Amino acid sequence: MLIDPPHMLTTSRLCQVSCVKDIENASRIIFPGVGACGQATEAVQRMGYREALIDYLKADRPFLGICLGMQILFDGSTENGGVEGLGVVPGTIRQFDTSLGLPVPHIGWNNLIPKKESPLLNCVGDRRVYFVHSFAAFPDEENKDWVLATGEYAGEFVSTLQKGNVYATQWHPEKSGAAGLDFIHGFLDPEWAAAQPRLDPSASRASNGVPRGLAKRVIACLDVRANDHGDLVVTKGDQYDVRESADASSGAGSSKGEVRNLGKPVELAGRYFEDGADEVTFLNITGFRDSPVADLPMLEVLRQTSRGVFVPLTVGGGIRSFTDAAGVHHPALEVAGAYFRSGADKVSIGGDAVLAAEAYYARGGVPDGSTAIEAISTHYGAQAVVVSIDPRRVYVRAPEDTEHVTVETATPGPNGERYCWWQCTVRGGREGRDVDAVQLARCVAHLGAGEILLNCIDRDGAGSGFDLELVKAVSDAVTIPVIASSGAGRPSHFSDVFRETGAAAALAAGIFHRREVAIAEVKADMARAGIPVRQSA
Ligand code: 1PR
C-alpha cells in the first residue's frame, strides 16, 4: 500500500502497489499482512518486489509493516518448513511454545510493554491492542536496537519494531479500535504524534487490580438470514428456532410465525463496535442451504461493516466447497477468499467440519489434506479458521453406555442419568451425527483450525448461563482458543465461564440485541472479578 501525501488514511491518496515503480515512488508504505509466511514471501518474490523493498527499507524511508508485514522483515521464519525473509532485522520467527499450556494462536487484546520512548507508542497510550498469530519474533541481543515494545504471552515476544522511519507491529492497528487508528494517524502525521501526551511507563504498569496481559474477549454475535419478505435481518432463536410462535388470533393456520427480526446487520455491528465489543461475528444461519459465493448480501454486509468497524470480523455459514447451478465447482478456499476480500478476518466452518471429522476418524485419525479446514489454514493461516460446533446434550446412565467422551454432570437427565456427552449436529441443529463435541474439537485442532466457537443448542436463547461442563470439557481437550457461546443472560455469566473454564472468549447474542445487558456492564463485572478485560477502546 502506498500513501501520498502523508496524512490521515481517509484523506490520503492511497494506492495499492502494483509494480516496482510504485515502491520506488512511494512517500510512505503500509505493508499489512495476514496468513502464512510462506505465501507472503513467495508472493513478494514472484512479483519482483523483494529487492525494491529491501532498498526502500535500507534507505530509511517511512514504512509500517503489520503482522506478516513485520515478520517478513526478519532473516527468516520456521513456518511452512522454513522460509527466507528480507533480512533487514536479525532473528528468526518461531512458533509459540504450545507445551506451556497457553492456547496458540495468541488471539486477542494484549498490552504493549514499551522498551523505548516513542511518539507512536504515546498515540496508543496504555490501551490494549489486537493480536492474532501463532508465530512470533523474540527479543535478543541482535535485534534489541529494533525492539520498541514487547508483549507478554508464554514469555516475552516482540510486539513493535522501530528504527528510524521504519515501523512494524505484530499486532493489527487496523483492528485495534481507536487505539489502532491513533497509531496509524501518528504514522501518517508525525507532527500530530509528537503532540500526544507522553506515555508514563510506570503509569502503564498500574492496573487498578485488573490483571494485565491477554484479555478475555467479549464477542457480539449476529445470526443473519433473509426473512419471509426477502430482507436480510439479524434474528435470534431459542434452541435454534428463530420463528415467533404462531399468533393464534391471526387465524393463519400455520404452526410457525415470522422470522424474528432484531435489526439490520451493518447497523447492529456498528453499535457493538461503539459499545466496546472485542469482536463481531456474523453467522449466515441458512448458509447450509444456499450457494455461498452467490450470497452477495453477506459479502456486501462485510464490505459495509468493515468500513466503520475496526475490530475483527468473523463470518460463518456456507463455508465449504460446492458446485453451482451451471456445474462449476467452487473449492472452499475460493469461498473463504471471497469473504476475506470483503473484510472478514476469520471464517467459521460448521457442518463441513463435522463431515470432515467423520471421515478423519474413519481413516483412523489421519489428516489427508482434502478438507476445507486444511486448505484455508494452509493458505491464510490457522488464525483465520474458526470451527463452529452446534452440540446437543445426550444423557446416559454410565460412561460404558456410549463410545463418546462423557462427563459426570451436576444436572442429571430426565430419568436421573448422571452422565452426558454432547452430540454434534449439522444443518442448523436439524441432524445429529455420530461425533461428539470433544472429538470434533480434537480433530479440527489437528487439521489446522485456529479457534473453536462452541455453541450449545440446549442453552441457546435460554439466558440461564453458559453450559460450563461443556465449555470445560472442550477447552480442556485442546490447546487452541475456545469461544463459549449460548445461554448468557446476565453479566456474571461471563465472569463464571472465565473463572470456571479455560474459555478464551465468550459470545452472546440475544441479551445484547434486546438491550437487556450492555457490553460495558459485562466488562465491569469481569473487572470486579479480577478477570483481564479490555475496558477502554
Ligand atoms: O454449517 O458452515 O453452514 O454454518 C452455519 C452456522 O450457522 C453455524 O455456525 C451454526 O452455529 C449457525 N446456525 C445455524 N442455524 C442456526 C439457528 O439458530 N437456527 N445459529 C444457527 C447458531 C448460535 C449462536 C447464538 C448463540 C448465542 N446460533 O450463534 O448466537 O447461541 O445466543 P444467545 O446469547 O442468545 O444464547 P455452516
User: How far apart (Å, rounded) are the C-alpha atoms in residues 184 and 324?
Assistant: 42
* Mean of pLDDT values over 223-233: 89
Q: How far is the CA of 259 from the centre of ligand 1 (A)?
A: 14
Amino acid at site 446: H
Closest CA to 441 of 369, 361, 362: 361
Distance from the Cα of residue 403 to its chain's centroid? 33
Q: Cα dihedral sign for 171, 345, 383, 109? A: positive
pLDDT of residue 255: 56
* Mean of pLDDT values over 36-40: 77
- CB of 317 within 6 A of ligand 1: the answer is yes
* Mean of pLDDT values over 44-71: 94
Question: What are the cell numbers at 225?
Answer: 438470514
User: How far apart (Å, rounded) are the C-alpha atoms in residues 380 and 378?
Assistant: 6
> Domain spanning 2-205 has what CATH number?
3.40.50.880
Amino acid at site 9: L
Q: Tell which wins on pLDDT, 104 or 168.
A: 168
Decide: residue 156, CB within 10 A, 0-12 exposed, 13-18 middle, 19+ buried: middle
pLDDT of residue 300: 92
Contacts of residue 249, Cβ cutoff 8 Å, sequence gap at least 6: none
Q: Tell which wins on pLDDT, 526 or 231.
A: 526
- CB of 489 within 6 A of ligand 1: the answer is no
User: How far apart (Å, rounded) are the C-alpha atoms in residues 323 and 329?
Assistant: 4
Q: Are strands 346-349 and 385-389 parallel, antiparallel or unpaired?
A: parallel
Alpha carbon nearest to ligand 1 atom 26, residue: 486
User: How far apart (Å, rounded) are the C-alpha atoms in residues 324 and 311?
Assistant: 33
Q: How confident is the model at residue 248 (pLDDT cuts 50, 70, 90)?
A: very low
pLDDT of residue 9: 43
Q: What is the pLDDT of residues 428-475, one digit of tens each?
A: 999 999 999 999 999 999 999 999 999 999 999 999 999 999 999 999
* Mean of pLDDT values over 416-424: 98
**Average pLDDT in the chain:** 91
User: How far apart (Å, rounded) are the C-alpha atoms in residues 26 and 187?
Assistant: 14
At residue 13, φ and ψ (nearest 5 deg) are -85, 110
Q: Which atom of ligand 1 is nearest to the CA of 353?
A: 2
Closest CA to 172 of 64, 53, 38, 269: 64
- CB of 79 within 6 A of ligand 1: the answer is no
Amino acid at site 416: G
Neighbours of 47 (CB within 10 A): 13
Contacts of residue 150, Cβ cutoff 8 Å, sequence gap at least 6: 112, 113, 115, 139, 156, 157, 158, 159
Evaluate if residue 322 carries a pLDDT over 70.
yes
Q: If you ran DSSP here, which 8-state letter would residue 241 be given?
A: B
**For ligand 1, mutation pick of 244, 279, 460, 517 (most atoms within 8 Å of CB):** 460
Q: How confident is the model at residue 66 (pLDDT cuts 50, 70, 90)?
A: very high
Would you tell me which CATH number, out of the four given (3.20.20.70, 3.60.10.10, 3.40.640.10, 3.10.28.10), belongs to the domain 217-243+256-528? 3.20.20.70
Instruction: Find cell 514472484 and name the residue.
Output: 46
- CB of 287 within 6 A of ligand 1: the answer is yes
pLDDT of residue 293: 56
User: How far apart (Å, rounded) are the C-alpha atoms in residues 143 and 136?
Assistant: 13
Evaluate if residue 51 carries a pLDDT over 60.
yes
Is cis: bond before 197, omega within 30 of 0? Answer: no
Tell me whether the CATH fold assigned to 2-205 matches the one assigned to 217-243+256-528.
no
pLDDT of residue 379: 87
Q: What is the pLDDT of residues 358-394, one digit of tens each?
A: 999 999 999 999 999 999 998 888 999 999 999 999 9
User: What is the arrangement of strands in the sheet containing 89-95, beginning at the earlier edge strand?
Assistant: 83-84, 74-77, 89-95, 135-136
Residues belonging to the chain = 537
C-alpha pair distances (Å), 70 with each of 42, 159, 513, 522? 15, 9, 38, 34
Alpha carbon nearest to ligand 1 atom 20, residue: 285
C-alpha pair distances (Å), 135 with each of 36, 67, 92, 172, 345? 10, 10, 10, 14, 17
Q: Say which range, 156-160, 327-331, 491-495, has the weakest mean pLDDT.
A: 327-331
Instruction: Find cell 475496558 and name the residue.
Output: 535
Q: What are the start-end ranges of the H helices in 64-167? A: 68-71, 119-124
**For ligand 1, mutation pick of 225, 295, 388, 426 (most atoms within 8 Å of CB):** 388
Give the CA count within 13 Å in the CB-facing half-sphere of 357: 28
Q: Hey, where are the domains in the chain? A: 2-205, 217-243+256-528
pLDDT of residue 249: 43
Question: Percent of the chain beyond pLDDT 70?
Answer: 92
- CB of 283 within 6 A of ligand 1: the answer is yes
Evaluate if residue 479 carries a pLDDT over 70.
yes
Evaluate if residue 13 carries a pLDDT over 70.
no
Q: How far is the CA of 220 from the centre of ligand 1 (A)?
A: 12
Contacts of residue 530, Cβ cutoff 8 Å, sequence gap at least 6: 209, 210, 211
* Mean of pLDDT values over 520-536: 95
Instruction: Find cell 527466507 and name the residue.
Output: 84
User: How far apart (Å, rounded) are the C-alpha atoms in residues 472 and 462?
Assistant: 19
